[in-house]
Structure 1
């Protein structure tokens, strides 16, 4: 933003208020000049007074007071332009001042013109001017003030919505700012009614009164009345069209934005947002639409996540944004369990029975694992991969993994008892546990992801469950896991073993 645009932006409300007063003065003076309802001497005196005092008074005083009122707003803009941070309390104060400024400026305009009407009516009275001149000065100033305040209502709001609101409230929330006066839609319509009906009626009444007071001849009075009506109709038609444009723009633009956003949201584009530029009913609806879009986006995120993650623990961690999607290093204990001689069982058993057997086995094993805070990552054929310490940290993950393995053995014994009663063959398995650091991450294609562990710890755990065959055990843990036990288990030290893919022997313990 260059210096000229920055100056215009900083003085938007001030410029809008000056424009409103210029319009008010111009309209009333034009109508006054077309009526010719005062004698020449009174008229010259009145115009001289207005030229020397009224006009400077109506602009200089409001400008000075406005600059004082806008001091926090201007300081805020300077800090933003300099890249400096602003506190929340200061920002709230600026927002309150900005939203209340239209009403402040309208009240200021009304006060200035009321003071001018009273002061200079008294001044004319002290000068000994006629009653008609005094009433004319009073009504003229009141008329200028009425037109200026009405025009200011729409012009200032127009500039506030178009220029300032998107900068100060980029994410909306204007209706939530406390201690502010809200420009309701009903207020706009009442103001528009006053601008297009009541003010012209007041102006016509004042002009008719002036003609009746100054023109005695009936023909001249009718001619003056005709001139007044045509001039008033022309100027108020132009002003009415202008105000209608401002009112319709301030109402239809937010409605069109809301309608467009709802259409895009219904098509599944939940990132679209309504540009909220007012604190009235439309602003509240815009904020509600944005909140709805955010909720729908969250629901869509949950839906997509559920399609990629099957574990409750992983789901909860992902939804709480605790799992970095690009991976994190965790210290865990990894458990692998594999059924023995399962391939021959598949060959001599019907597929339906195989499914019932394997599902029952997995159900009992997962119950044992989850009972100790573990998580089943995946089923690979007849193999189970589980982790203790991710995604939810466990301070005693090695002990928990060992307890889960013992419970798995007990569960397998119970399953075999049931299978024996049904005539199913007994199952055997081997379990390997290794502890260490892993990278926990979401891995897969863009359309399908899974929570997985990567690292040498996983590979060692997988090799350990195979080592049960060599040592005639059902559970084997590495020395790294054994060191982390917080309680004693009935394990024995096994001969050091070189696992597949390793060059150095590993110290093992078996149950």
Structure 2
């Protein structure tokens, strides 16, 4: 099988450090990799037997030993190799089917995924079975010889096969797992997660740690201790024990590096992605396929980011209609079906003589002018802590006091009004330069209690504010024409201000719908 690495998802290949040709023959590379630790274990076993076992055998026993080696290698290992090749052939066939876009039945794909995840168990299991079967086979063969076997062989020979088998099998597991994740998972789990595969048996982090300690530390140390405890024929320089110690150190460093990468890689990816999310990048994603405990953690993180991204999209879309602040409150469940009563400052803004402007201007230009005006004014209101709740044809209604600092709502509302009038001067200069009649607006503010919430029927609801405070604020805005003042506030609003705002009182005004006259103040533009 030969494929181009470009056919794999780029996100799956990013961050890997394997040679490029690994990706051209992924199943072959994965399958052949098992022979590396097996060969290392065999070298250790041959050296061990040559130094400590063969010298305890007679010439006839040694001949029987070599004969048993030949027969065993001819009968057992080829059988295990045939089974392993059949398994790899199944993986290769399924790999090509998925890569070509062929649709597999659900149970077929699930079975293939389970085999890929369990591949390290199969490979290391076949190797371990071959190694540990050597113990009864070789001891039985040597014991059948008419010459009595040296008792030390009964201890040293099992040590030889056990230590060699443990080192070879554990490292076979690690290398198969690493290559399967990097080369096979990206194809078999294009649309799924390894952690959700039923019947799969990934090695847990705890078991992985124990296996690493066993292969890199316990096995070499035990072999060294037993070698020193075993009776020696004559004193000699312990070069073999030193070699075993060096091999143990090399294996320890290798497994420590593999273990560190295996654990730190997902931790680093999760850390980096979390930092990106905290900085506002909701496109961050951890593209790492793991079948162990990190798998569900990575999946949940990606689901969380997807949820945040969807929430932001809904909030953004929803916020265009009801305001971002209202959308956030509704989505977070802070607004009940009947709303809640709170102290607010209501702002009404209206463009004067807009009806007569519409008579002499095309609808398209009217809409363009309105959008231009509202874009500027809404930005000022929202940046000042307010929330535009309704567009009223040629004006709008805004609410102040729904932030985390409601005590400064009057100050925020008045500052917003001043900024709006200042921005209107700049906008009118632009309109004059374009040959368009300048705009005049009226702003009215009133503070008091009101019901804020989603109000309506179960099928259709609207976020709004209801109460006499709203009505009074609307009437105050209407007084701006009568009093020839662009910005009016009531006593209730002025009481929440400090002396830095310059206000001029007007005589009490009769307001429709109010039993008492209303005292209003003109706010001077700074």
TM range (shorter): 0.5 to 0.7
CA shift, 1:305, in A, is: 0.9
Q: Report the 3-state secondary structure (helix = DSSP H, G, I; strand = E; otherwise coil) of the residue aligned with 2:201.
A: coil
Change (3 A) 1:286 1:124: same
| Contact 1:124–1:134, Cα closer than 8 Å, also in 2 | no
Q: Partners of 2:272 and 2:354 in 1: how far apart?
A: 60
Q: Partners of 2:68 and 2:90 in 1: how far apart?
A: 34
Change (3 A) 1:8 1:58: farther
Counterpart residue number, 1:105 = 123
Match of 1:227 among 236, 239, 257: 239
Match of 2:316 among 289, 304, 322: 304
Counterpart residue number, 2:8 = none
Tell me how many residue pairs correspond in the alignment.
324
Counterpart residue number, 1:245 = 257
Counterpart residue number, 2:450 = none
CA shift, 1:202, in A, is: 2.6
Alignment of 1:265-414 (within 5 A): 265-310=277-322, 343=355, 380-381=393-394
Counterpart residue number, 2:189 = 169
CA shift, 1:83, in A, is: 3.5
CA shift, 1:186, in A, is: 0.4
1:196 aligns with 2:216: yes
Cα RMSD over matched residues?
3.8
Counterpart residue number, 1:14 = 31
1:38 aligns with 2:38: no
Q: Which runs of 5+ in 1 are unaligned?
A: 320-340, 347-376, 383-417, 423-511
Change (3 A) 1:175 1:256: same
Q: Partners of 2:51 and 2:41 in 1: how far apart?
A: 16
| Contact 1:276–1:287, Cα closer than 8 Å, also in 2 | no
* TM-score, length of structure 2 as denominator length: 0.54
1:154 aligns with 2:171: no
Q: Partners of 2:228 and 2:72 in 1: how far apart?
A: 24
1:88 aligns with 2:106: yes
Q: Partners of 2:47 and 2:29 in 1: how far apart?
A: 27
Change (3 A) 1:247 1:6: closer
1:196-224 superposed Cα distances (whole Å, 9 cap, x missing partner): 222013312442354x0x51x4xx1xx35
Q: Report the 3-state secondary structure (helix = DSSP H, G, I; strand = E; otherwise coil) of the residue aligned with 1:38.
A: helix
Change (3 A) 1:165 1:46: farther
| Contact 1:70–1:97, Cα closer than 8 Å, also in 2 | no
Q: Report the 3-state secondary structure (helix = DSSP H, G, I; strand = E; otherwise coil) of the residue aligned with 1:150.
A: helix
Counterpart residue number, 1:115 = 133
Q: Partners of 1:301 and 1:56 in 2: how far apart?
A: 65
CA shift, 1:265, in A, is: 1.6
Counterpart residue number, 2:227 = 207
Change (3 A) 1:55 1:261: farther
Q: Partners of 1:59 and 1:7 in 2: how far apart?
A: 28
| Contact 1:121–1:135, Cα closer than 8 Å, also in 2 | no
Change (3 A) 1:227 1:98: same
Q: Which runs of 5+ in 2 are unaligned?
A: 5-20, 332-352, 359-389, 396-470, 476-526
| Contact 1:13–1:156, Cα closer than 8 Å, also in 2 | yes
Alignment of 1:427-506 (within 5 A): none
Q: Partners of 1:184 and 1:148 in 2: how far apart?
A: 20
Counterpart residue number, 1:79 = 97
1:213-268 superposed Cα distances (whole Å, 9 cap, x missing partner): x51x4xx1xx35x3233122111111211121211111111111111111112122
Match of 1:139 among 153, 156, 159: 159
Match of 2:206 among 171, 178, 186: 186
CA shift, 1:8, in A, is: 3.0
Change (3 A) 1:276 1:130: farther
Q: Report the 3-state secondary structure (helix = DSSP H, G, I; strand = E; otherwise coil) of the residue aligned with 2:80.
A: helix
Match of 2:266 among 230, 254, 276: 254
Q: Partners of 1:256 and 1:47 in 2: how far apart?
A: 52
CA shift, 1:32, in A, is: 4.0
Q: Report the 3-state secondary structure (helix = DSSP H, G, I; strand = E; otherwise coil) of the residue aligned with 1:127.
A: coil
Match of 2:46 among 3, 11, 29: 29
Q: Partners of 1:99 and 1:233 in 2: how far apart?
A: 33
Q: Partners of 1:147 and 1:342 in 2: how far apart?
A: 87
CA shift, 1:129, in A, is: 5.1
1:435-491 superposed Cα distances (whole Å, 9 cap, x missing partner): xxxxxxxxxxxxxxxxxxxxxxxxxxxxxxxxxxxxxxxxxxxxxxxxxxxxxxxxx
Counterpart residue number, 1:503 = none
* TM-score, length of structure 1 as denominator length: 0.55
Q: Partners of 2:41 and 2:75 in 1: how far apart?
A: 14
Counterpart residue number, 2:145 = 127
